């Protein structure tokens, strides 16, 4: 079961529910057998610069190779930049 942790500063207006749903959809497109993606958001109110950090974790599997990881990171990155 995949896990997504989203850490962001409180000044950013982010629809984290929509972002989490999109992350789950991206994972399921790449690996339909992965299951639902558990997620949580950590909002940071003391910071030096605004930032958004997305951490994804999945158990290792033969089909989850470097190419899989590259596609996953690229697609999530494209989503969060919109």
With beta carbons less than 8 A apart as the criterion, state whether 4 and 58 touch: no
Residues facing 4 on adjacent strands: 39, 56
Query: Structure pTM?
Result: 0.85
Domain positions in the chain are 3-80
Do residues 62 and 16 make contact, with C-beta atoms less than 8 angstroms apart? no
Give per-residue pLDDT as tens, 11-20.
Answer: 999 999 999 9
Quick: pLDDT tens for 42-68. 999 999 999 999 999 998 888 888 898
Per the structure block, which two tokens stand in for 41?
């958001």
Domain covering 3-80: architecture: 2-Layer Sandwich (3.30)
- Percent of the chain whose predicted confidence (pLDDT) is above 70: 96
């Amino acid at each position: 079961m995949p896990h997504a942790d989203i850490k962001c500063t409180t000044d950013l207006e982010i629809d984290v529910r929509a972002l989490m749903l999109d992350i789950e959809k991206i994972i399921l497109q790449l690996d339909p057998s992965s299951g639902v993606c558990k997620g949580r958001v950590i909002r940071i109110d003391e910071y030096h610069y605004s930032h958004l950090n997305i951490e994804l974790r999945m158990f290792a599997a033969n089909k989850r190779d470097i190419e899989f990881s590259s596609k996953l990171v690229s697609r999530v990155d494209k989503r969060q930049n919109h």
